[in-house]
């Protein structure tokens, strides 16, 4: 049991390492354009998701900036360890790895380093990073799994 979970935790740390490596590399360069709609820029997110509570300080910010992400990360890792399903473990490893990457930024930098700037003309999606992609893909995969399971239950119920 422990050996199986160590490999999943290792994958989690691999996602974190990939996130931290990309942030390190971007911060060693100047910003640049990849395509007409995708730029690499350096942005510090001093808030929570999409910069919420960025202007706040004190207990409220500490709760949203450190306590909640830490509690969520611990919960995700706990469920990852307890799960028997490989798909769920993979999805949760993405979420945990991305969450840990952003939490490392919060603890050591006091802010999250974002750098992927997707835009169409003058409209810009909020800047994000590789950790955010891991978290989003993990959540998408779990949601997809839950929806397909529910659809299967509905089919069986109709028959």
38-45 and 32-35 beta bridge pairing: antiparallel
Cα 133 to Cα 95: distance, rounded to the nearest angstrom: 9
Q: Is 19 in the active site?
A: no
Contact present, 38 and 118 (Cβ < 8 Å): yes
Q: For residue 110, how many C-alpha atoms fall within 13 Å in the half-sphere facing its CB?
A: 1
Catalytic site residue from 19, 105, 117, 132:
132
Could you tell me the strand order of the sheet in which 32-35 lies? 32-35, 38-45, 112-120, 123-124
- What's the chain's Rg over C-alpha atoms? 18
62 is an active site residue: no
Report CA 57 to chain centroid distance, whole Å.
23
Residue of 19, 105, 114, 117 marked catalytic: 114
Residue 124: what are its φ and ψ, rounded to 5°?
-125, 130
Catalytically annotated residues:
114, 132
């Amino acid at each position: 049991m422990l050996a199986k979970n160590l490999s999943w935790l290792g994958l989690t740390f691999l996602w974190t390492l990939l996130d931290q490596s990309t942030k390190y590399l971007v911060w060693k360069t100047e910003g640049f354009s990849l395509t007409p709609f995708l730029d690499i820029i350096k942005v510090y997110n001093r808030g929570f998701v999409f910069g919420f509570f960025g202007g706040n300080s004190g207990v409220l910010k500490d709760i949203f900036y450190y306590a909640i992400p830490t509690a969520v990360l611990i919960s995700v890792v706990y469920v990852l360890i307890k799960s028997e399903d490989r798909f769920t473990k993979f999805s949760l490893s993405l979420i945990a790895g991305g969450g840990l990457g952003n939490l490392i930024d919060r603890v050591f930098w006091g802010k999250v380093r974002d750098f992927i700037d997707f835009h169409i003309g003058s409209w810009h999606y909020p800047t994000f990073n590789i950790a955010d992609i891991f978290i989003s893909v993990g959540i998408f995969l779990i949601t997809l799994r839950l929806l397909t399971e529910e659809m299967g239950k509905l089919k069986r119920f109709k028959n």
